[in-house]
Chains A and B, each alone.
Chain A
Amino acid sequence: DIVMTQSPDSLAVSLGERATINCKSSQSVLYSSNNKNYLAWYQQKPGQPPKLLIYWASTRESGVPDRFSGSGSGTDFTLTISSLQAEDVAVYYCQQYYSTPPDFGQGTRLEIK
């Protein structure tokens, strides 16, 4: 199984500042035949199901604000929120879908400083 490890476990950022969350996979999730990274990012707010933010490591889902961006390749990935808004308080998860089981990282809790 591919193990996904996020860092940090929690993060406090001031409104308007940049937030960066990292995700590392235990093996590459880059599929060489199509040059795509099988990595997604989700946002989960209290009492709600997860919401897809980013897929293929860097493609923003329709309707997701452009302050959210994803980067990285192979085994190391980053979710960046360029200017934190109050509504971004949530837990963020990465997920690999390169192989079964498509496991999630342990989550990163993002709060306002």
Chain B
Amino acid sequence: EVQLVQSGAEVKKPGESLKISCKGSGYSFTSYWIGWVRQMPGKGLEWMGIIYPGDSDTRYSPSFQGQVTISADKSISTAYLQWSSLKASDTAMYYCARPSGRGVMDDAFDIWGQGTMVTVSS
């Protein structure tokens, strides 16, 4: 079964760092891009960025460039989303998702992780 399994919920203080993960299984992890999507409480979906684990080619939305870092470790089939200094406004659910086409970045997301809730509060 093709699936993406994300790390558990996090509660952090402003200014702290954080790295959340998304582990792929059931498919060739290095052959598909993996994207990250933010959903703030009660709000819509926002595309943050995407990485190709095969060569770590990474693209960011202008809205998130410089605010987060996307990376991947292909040896353990895991993608990451990290912050160096969290803000209260980073409180949101974060989803990883895989485009359906092998090697294709511009494609619909057919596989989604279960989501990781990040809460930033003093």
Contacts and interface: CB of A to CB of B under 8 A. Distances in A.
Interface residues of B, number: 23
Interface stretch (B23-31, B75-83, B111-119): B111-119
Contacts of A101: 47, 61-63
What is the predominant secondary structure among interface residues of chain A facing chain B? loop
Given A49-B95, A50-B95, A55-B100, A102 B47 contact: yes
5 contacts: A49-B95, A50-B37, A50-B112, A52-B108, A97-B106
Contacts of B109: 40, 42, 50, 52, 95
Nearest to A39: B108
B107 interface: yes
B45 A40 contact: no
A51 interface: yes
Nearest to B107: A97
